[in-house]
Amino acid sequence: MIGTSVPLNRGNAVMVIALLVLCALPGMSWGHAFPDHSEPKVGSTLSAPPTQVRIWFDAALEPAFCAIMVHNADGKMVDSRNGRVDPSDPTLLSVTVPRLPAGTYLVIWNVVSRDGHRTQGTFPFTIK
């Protein structure tokens, strides 16, 4: 019925407020950690090789269940195999890399947020 309205009583008002709160906090309801930004930036072309690859996430990570790797165009792992969550910033995952030659590289990450949800992904970067 067009033009019909629902009377706003106390029960309906509580449901409307609860719905608005849930809609305003979608990150809390999903519970997954997703990348916020990275160095090098996703898809970037660098004139100088980085000394490390870092990814900041939008939620705290569970260090025991997180990994980050860097592979060259041949699929060979080229990082120092010391990926870790930063003890002073639980949203930062990083790995050091030796001096990398020109080429395209693929960062592969896999994390578990503190609430137990797993996410994973990849992104490339290129060194001139």
CA distance 59 to 114: 8
Residue 56 identity (one-letter amino acid):
W
Closest CA to 127 of 51, 42, 50: 50
Closest CA to 83 of 122, 114, 48, 110: 110
CATH architecture of the domain with residue range 31-127: Sandwich (2.60)
pLDDT in tens, 32-76: 899 999 999 999 999 999 999 999 999 999 999 999 999 999 999
Question: Which residue did the predictor score with more confidence, 10 or 119?
Answer: 119
pTM metric for this prediction: 0.77
Number of H helices, E strands in the chain: 2, 8
Sketch the domain layout of the chain as residue ranges. 31-127
Residue 52 burial (CB < 10 Å; 0-12/13-18/19+)?
middle
Residue 82 identity (one-letter amino acid):
N
CA distance 47 to 49: 7
